[in-house]
Amino acid sequence: MAHQPIQGFSKLNKQKKIEWLVETYLDNNQQYIDILQQYWNTDADLQKLHEEFSENTISNFYMPYGIAPNFFINGELKAIPMAVEESSVVAAASKAAKFWLDKGGFKTTIINEKKLGHTHFTFSGESVKLQSFFNHHLRTQLLEDTQEITKNMRNRGGGILDIELVDKTAEMENYYQLKASFNTKDSMGANFINSCLEQFGKTLKREIEASEKFSAEEKQSLRVIMNILSNFTPDCIVRAEVSCKIEDLIDDSGIAPEEFAWKFKQAVRIAEIEPYRATTHNKGIMNGVDAVVIATGNDFRATEACAHTYAAKDGKYSSLTHCSTDNGIFRFWIDLPISVGVVGGLTNLHPLVKFSLALLGKPSASELMGIIAVSGLAQNFAALRSLVTTGIQKGHMKMHLFNILNQMKATEAEKEYFVQYFKDKTVSHHEVINELNRLRTQS
């Protein structure tokens, strides 16, 4: 039977939403209602808080919330919170933190904190005339009309940094932008930026229509299309890096330091020139980045979009990390474009987000940028270290072992047995199943 559309779904209470879903799509199976309800928080107020984060909420979707300790960053020891479901991410980050603990740790530098937004519009009049009008009048008026919006941000040391008129007519007929840069201090600033841009659109239209410099035809040709921030922030950049003497790169796999440094650098270089490798390489970086972004209540989708755009900024998708081995010094670093906040959004609402920020010492937005970049760099170091020594599967499959055992409803005794069984073996799904069946048959 074909399903019918529902009217007013958002107006139903939670229970009614669930009843309709289970009746319509799940054959009235009670087990699905039980699944949803078992993830409700027993604290009614806390559950209500979570439900109001989004729309049409019927339950909570849990992710593991772990801690990667021993990160020595800019002379301070940090324990980094990570919300991630993928096996081995927290373990790999922790292992990398431990490796660099006695080698000076991680260092971060804020290169810039500029964020961008645009008023996109079309205009069929003379470009030179529009540019002159912008330079001699419009730019000043745009700043003046947003004074009230930017007041509080300016008091905190932020605000609008610059506004440019960008002629894009060579790429699209009659297309122009008002390109604005902002400093939003400790907030991610999306609402602030968009409010400024929407005022830009109104001011642009009003001032062009009121000006005697433009003909009636030119005024009529002006059409504001949209006003929106950009999640590509190539001038909001943090660098995280590690370095040490090559001779200090002693790895427990037994590989010589010089061989390790050479292979590691080659692995990074391959990711710089080969997009197939760069994609997986950068995905590993984002394992570490996203986990901290989520744990601190920030927007991991914006972070992902920005990072991958930045990786392709030179016309070819490439590695976000880089490595050098000059004058006997091994150096590994990442320049990460990232826009995050520590005020606003979920930061003042979600209890675990508040815990994460407190755990990190209530960092400023720029300090959090550094911590997130460090997590990405550590994740990449751990992955490349495995790839050029023992191979990626040895560590990854050991973490995956418990997923397999949980799927097979293994007892605690069986789990302990398998930890020992695979101590000197490579884990495979096939081997786990065979050995578990043999063990149970024998029992």
The token pair that represents 228 in the structure block: 């929106």
φ and ψ at residue 159, rounded to 5 degrees: 125, -160
Q: Can you say whether the dihedral through the CA atoms of 53, 58, 63, 64 is positive or negative?
A: positive
Q: Which of 113, 186, 290, 299 is catalytic?
A: 299
229 pairs with which residues across the strands? 117
Residues 6+ apart with CB under 8 A from 247: 257, 258, 328
Q: Which of 95, 281, 396, 400 is catalytic?
A: 396
Report CA-CA distances (Å) from 4 to 7, 30, 55: 10, 22, 21
| SS3 call for 21 | helix
> What is the Cα–Cα distance from 88 to 421, expressed in whole angstroms?
19
> What is the Cα–Cα distance from 377 to 335, expressed in whole angstroms?
10
Residue 196 near residue 117, CB atoms below 8 Å? yes
Closest CA to 295 of 38, 96, 68: 68
429 is catalytic: no
Q: How many residues does the chain have?
A: 443
The number of beta carbons lying within 10 Å of the beta carbon of residue 170 is 7
322 is catalytic: no
Residues 6+ apart with CB under 8 A from 372: 238, 289, 292, 293, 296, 303, 336, 338, 340
Q: Which of 103, 179, 283, 350 is catalytic?
A: 283
Residue 84 near residue 287, CB atoms below 8 Å? yes
Report CA-CA distances (Å) from 305 to 189, 192, 275, 371: 17, 20, 16, 19
299 is catalytic: yes
Q: Which of 14, 19, 51, 86 is catalytic?
A: 86
| SS3 call for 274 | coil
283 is catalytic: yes
Residues serving a catalytic function are 86, 283, 299, 396
